[in-house]
Amino acid sequence: MRRLSQQEFVEWADAYLRGELSAEERISFERYCNEEPREAAQLEEHKAFLADFKQVDARMNFKRALTSTATKYHAMHPVKQPAKIINLWDRLKLNAAVAAAIAIVSVFSTLWLTGYYSNLKKTTSDYSALRRDMNTVKRNVNAHNAAIKNINNSSKDNTETMHYGATGFMITKSGYVVTNYHVITGADSVHLQNHKGQSFRADIIFTNPEKDLAILRINDSTFRALKNLPYTFKKQDSDLGEDIYTIGFPRDEAVYGQGYLSSATGYAGDTLAYQISIPVNPGNSGGPVLDKEGNVIGIISGKQKGIDGAAFAIKTKALLETLNSIPADSLKGNIVLSNRNSLNSLSRTDQIKKLQDYIYIVKVY
């Protein structure tokens, strides 16, 4: 069966659902739908639409039957004639109900024919959170551990296996770190590893799923507080075209990315995020976005599938709002953000060197 146009497909679909096709035509149409998944999905949507339409029609018929029965009853049992204005209102109510039903059917028909529902499904699948999937690593580590057990026949191996990794960065020198909520959700434990290879256990202090943010605190006896953070957090929105950059861990060493701010809103017009032109990969989630002066303006959160360089970053003002909403009893001392920027007078390479001590691989187990 040749490729059908949209109008031809709708006509065939209507005839198919009304049972007007011959046996040969039905077989041919069903084969066509099996070969064209998109058209098959449209057929199912159209079938559901017609079912809804029949349900509305059945309700209208039921109402008409009730009205007819009531009319016969009142004819047999006369009552005082209601005022003319009430009769007029009853007729208007019926007309309004019919008009509303027709309008609803027309709207849904138009949406189906224009492909609105299929576009909506596509839109919701275009956004991708940047969590690095470590299933392959997990399988390899498990296989390695099993081999060691078979060789040694020793005691139980308690080694944990990592599920996936991402990026986080410090918000205070005392060990508070921010990353994305989607990175740590479902975690049994979280560790932070710096660029020197040192690893520290971290507690999840607070999460904000709506803003996709999570606040961690390093809780490890081997951790020593660092010097004052070299960057500050910009509260005001940044300008379009502004030069920006990020450092993250799409692999097991720091990777630098440079670009510009391409939109003042994020995915689907999200006002709590920016769209940025920096290519990002799984593992960049939770990484900082900085302007040329070394101010943090956002936190990498996701990308748009199929479009290279279309990534999104949560604005720092969303981070500040999240920090202000943390209950005091969840904190160990107040979170005091740095108000001194020591990066603005440095070259980009020197900025990066100074930043690396404050950016971590987030390892989730």
Phi-psi region of 262 (alpha: psi -120 to 50; beta: other; left: phi over 0): alpha
Q: Are strands 295-304 and 232-233 parallel, antiparallel or unpaired?
A: parallel
Inform me whether the pLDDT recorded for 9 exceeds 70: yes
pTM: 0.61
Token pair recorded at residue 260: 């510009």
Question: Which pLDDT score, from 0 to 100, does residue 72 have?
Answer: 78
Question: Which pLDDT score, from 0 to 100, does residue 129 have?
Answer: 73
Q: What is the pLDDT of residues 277-332, one digit of tens each?
A: 998 888 899 999 999 999 999 999 988 877 777 899 999 999 999 999 999 888 88
Q: Are strands 127-129 and 176-179 parallel, antiparallel or unpaired?
A: unpaired
Could you tell me which of 288, 299, 294, 305 has the C-alpha nearest to residue 349?
294
Inform me whether the pLDDT recorded for 145 exceeds 80: no
Residue 236 binned pLDDT confidence (cut-offs 50, 70, 90): very high
Inform me whether the pLDDT recorded for 136 exceeds 80: no
Name which residue leads in pLDDT, 143 or 207.
207
Q: What is the pLDDT of residues 197-225, one digit of tens each?
A: 999 999 999 999 999 999 999 999 999 98
Name which residue leads in pLDDT, 203 or 163.
203
The CA distance from 41 to 279, in Å, is 34
Question: Which pLDDT score, from 0 to 100, does residue 150 have?
Answer: 60
The CA distance from 223 to 225, in Å, is 7
The CA–CA distances, whole Å, from 149 to 135, 145, 154, 181, 338 equal 21, 6, 6, 36, 49
Q: Which range (34-38, 42-46, 52-56, 305-309) has the least confidence?
A: 305-309
- Average pLDDT (71-81) is 69
Angle subtended by helix axes 37-76 and 23-35, to nearest 10: 120
Looking at the structure, give the CATH architecture of the domain made up of residues 128-153+160-365: Beta Barrel (2.40)
Question: Which pLDDT score, from 0 to 100, does residue 255 have?
Answer: 93
